[in-house]
Amino acid sequence: MNEIKKIVNWVEKRMLIFKLIFVLSVLIFVFFEFGRIAKQMSWTEISHDLMTTNPVSIVIMLVVGFLAVTPMLIYDVVMVSFVPGKFSWKYLLKSGWITNTFTNLLGFGGLIGATLRANFYSKKATKSQIIAALSKIAIFLLSGLSLCCWLALFAIGCGLIKTGFSQYLIWLVGGGLYFPLVLIFTLKKNHGVFRDLNTKQETLLIAGSAMEWLSVSLFFVLIGWLLGVNQKLPEVFMLYIVSSILGIISLVPGGLGSFDVFMLIGLETLGVPSATTAVWLLFYRIFYYILPFTLGVIFFIHSLGSKINEYLDGLPSSIMHKAAHGILTLLLYSSGILILLDAMVPNFAFNNNILIRFYPYTLFFVSQLTSVLCGFMLFGLARGIEARIKRAYWPTIIFLILGMIDTVRYGFSWGVLTFLSLVLILVIFSRKELYRQRFVYSSEKLFLDGSFFAIIAILYAIIGAINSPHYILHHHIPAILIFPSERTWFSGFIGLLLAAGILWLTFNYLSNFGMSSIDELPNLDRAKKVIEKFGGNETSHLAYLKDKCLFFYQAEGEDQLFLMYRHKANKLIVMGEPVGNRKYLNEAVSQLLRLADLENCQLVFYEINSELTLL
């Protein structure tokens, strides 16, 4: 008996070494086996299969891949029921996504997941409470895989899966025994950490695990079906379950390599070409592991960034939002210019080595008319975004989504989709910068935009004139100015006329939002009371001319002082010194500054003294 204990103790002390030797041996086997299979593959066929995959299938894989990860969030829902403290749904979803996607890809025997959950949910919990909660969750993680084993065995028994896979039965039976043993172990309720595990929590954990493994296995089968493998799908399901068991036993994070080799061998026995299998596994890794993990990394950086941002009083967030706003404005203007340039002189871009490099990353439209309209629409929205107008947000979002749909329908391009996605992310990230109520044209910007539109209209008319058959017959025209046809030019000219209306509607939409609080009629009764109580000054009598607006500052429930101003374009011209209680001078001017900024206006002070000038 003592000899046996000595042997057990000796093994336990060296368990880490044994695990490392086992993992290393698995990796060596995987390496050599993968090398053997790789030699038999046709990389030309793999490349062809990747390039010819239907874009709709890609979108389906993307959506279903993310949906297949969501059942794992149930573990985090149950986790918070084990520990004290309240957690918002937003926090729970973000933390759960980070934990589960990191666990999926990195694994390390569940160590990553346990560490992250302990970090996210330990605000008010003791160390023993966290360990107990993690232990309860850990024991149920593979119960869903065990249930899938029974499902595969049932399919074999019913004849849905044909014979010839007897070598896998031992793995299915062994995996299937896990769930009954766990159920018996936990239902006894006499094992330390499981004493307080109630029926609802246990049911949720079992359901979460079952949904997790069922959804990911069916997602794997779906990828094969989308790639044209529409036979022997029940056998594919069984192979996935067996390969998952072998991948878990290998202790390699995510079963990377070991799972893939077993699937390559198994699918080969089903007659699936090795090139198709390689593409199949690649899509599985990308859409179930890499892309959800990428989103998890973004959430993790955001979570970490929030703590840093809080420590630095919001400065990093402010800088990033302003930078995103600046880049977004530049991209919108650049896209508008490139689209209009393409509409005005179609051959210019394709004869210019610099511009031709940028064209794959901007918008292309199906006709000259839509190109001109959308080019000016971008300019209008860019003006709104530049001025930080809140109402410009949703039209820009809708316009970008329409651009994406247009790209998919009329000439699919990853470059265009990537560009639009980047702009869309910048719009969303810049939302906090869009806080102003209305768009107000300054005189200088109105002159610039008016001149820009007039110059484009005149140049387009001139280009149309020199493209007339009579002119072409008697004159030499540079190749970059030649239009494909008069009809194409005329379509663009109609678009130019419509663009004027589009711009007017866009700016009208951005400008007219409710009643402006800066254009109120002067209330002379209120002004009179302020003058009677606090006294007037050398300009206070001008309020009675009724040609100026009055801004009143209130404190302690009554008017303390007022400023006179006139609204002109995007300027509020303040006339003279404030009238009333100068104790509130600083607060009154600050409040008027905020109001003017909200209305997209600037203050201009006229005839004021040194105190207000310095302020």
- pLDDT score for 356: 47
CA distance linking residue 249 with residue 252, whole number of Å: 8
Higher per-residue pLDDT: 95 or 302: 95
Higher per-residue pLDDT: 547 or 513: 547
Using the structure block, give the residue that is written with the tokens 């990860």. 69
Higher per-residue pLDDT: 12 or 139: 139
- pLDDT score for 326: 77
- pLDDT score for 615: 80
Q: Are residues 138 and 77 in the same domain?
A: yes
Q: Say whether pLDDT at 394 is over 70.
A: yes
Q: Are residues 277 and 248 in the same domain?
A: yes
Decide if 495 contacts 373 (C-beta within 8 A).
yes
Q: Are residues 76 and 22 in the same domain?
A: no
Q: Are residues 144 and 85 in the same domain?
A: yes
pLDDT band at 497 (very low <50, low <70, confident <90, very high): confident
- pLDDT score for 215: 93
Question: Quick check: is 403 in a domain?
Answer: no
Q: Say whether pLDDT at 216 is over 50.
A: yes
Question: Quick check: is 406 in a domain?
Answer: no
Name the residue type at position 176.
G
pLDDT tens-digit readout, 562-576: 989 988 888 888 988
Question: Quick check: is 559 in a domain?
Answer: yes
CA distance linking residue 152 with residue 402, whole number of Å: 45
Which of 457, 484, 511 is at the close of a domain? Answer: 511
pLDDT band at 406 (very low <50, low <70, confident <90, very high): low
Average pLDDT over residues 92-119: 77
Q: Say whether pLDDT at 22 is over 50.
A: no
CA distance linking residue 50 with residue 286, whole number of Å: 13
CA distance linking residue 9 with residue 7, whole number of Å: 6
Q: Are residues 476 and 500 in the same domain?
A: yes
- In terms of average pLDDT, the best of 13-22, 66-75, 222-231 is 66-75
Q: Are residues 536 and 506 in the same domain?
A: no
- pLDDT score for 361: 39
Name the residue type at position 415.
G
Which residues 6+ apart lie within 8 Å of 8 measured at CB?
none
Q: Say whether pLDDT at 587 is over 80.
A: yes
pLDDT band at 189 (very low <50, low <70, confident <90, very high): low
Q: Say whether pLDDT at 328 is over 90.
A: no
Q: Say whether pLDDT at 41 is over 60.
A: no
pLDDT band at 220 (very low <50, low <70, confident <90, very high): very high
Mean pLDDT of the chain: 75
pLDDT tens-digit readout, 243-252: 888 777 765 5
Residue 109's closest CA among 260, 251, 256, 213?
A: 251
Q: What H or E segment, with its residue span, contains residue 152?
A: helix 143-157
- pLDDT score for 65: 92
Q: Are residues 473 and 537 in the same domain?
A: no
CA distance linking residue 293 with residue 116, whole number of Å: 14
Q: Are residues 79 and 133 in the same domain?
A: yes
Q: Say whether pLDDT at 51 is over 60.
A: yes
Q: Say whether pLDDT at 593 is over 60.
A: yes
Residue 21 belongs to domain spanning? 1-39
pLDDT band at 192 (very low <50, low <70, confident <90, very high): low
- pLDDT score for 612: 83
pLDDT tens-digit readout, 335-374: 766 666 665 555 444 444 544 454 443 444 344 566 666 6
Which residues 6+ apart lie within 8 Å of 363 measured at CB?
335, 339, 374, 403, 406, 407, 416, 420
Q: Are residues 34 and 126 in the same domain?
A: no
Which of 451, 485, 511 is at the close of a domain? Answer: 511
Question: Quick check: is 45 in a domain?
Answer: yes
Name the residue type at position 21.
I
Q: Are residues 545 and 599 in the same domain?
A: yes
Higher per-residue pLDDT: 414 or 128: 128
Q: Based on the structure, what is the number of domains in the chain? A: 4
Average pLDDT over residues 300-306: 75
- pLDDT score for 477: 52
Q: Is 528 helix (H, G, I), strand (E, B) or coil?
A: helix
Question: Quick one: angle between helices 258-269 and 233-249, nearest 10?
Answer: 150
CATH number of domain containing 582: 3.40.630
The 3 state secondary structure assigned to 98-132 is HHHHHHHHHCCCCHHHHHHHHHHCCCCCCHHHHHH
- pLDDT score for 211: 93
Which of 306, 326, 358 is at the close of a domain? Answer: 306
Q: Are residues 132 and 187 in the same domain?
A: yes
Q: Say whether pLDDT at 68 is over 90.
A: yes
What pairing do the DSSP bridges indicate for beta strands 558-568 and 571-580? Answer: antiparallel
Poorest-pLDDT segment among 228-237, 509-518, 533-542 = 509-518
Question: Quick check: is 325 in a domain?
Answer: no
- pLDDT score for 88: 83
Q: Are residues 174 and 131 in the same domain?
A: yes
- pLDDT score for 179: 84
- pLDDT score for 268: 81
User: Residue 287 carries which DSSP code?
Assistant: I
- pLDDT score for 355: 45
Answer yes or no: pTM beyond 0.85.
no
Q: What percent of the chain has pLDDT over 90?
A: 5
CA distance linking residue 597 with residue 212, whole number of Å: 51
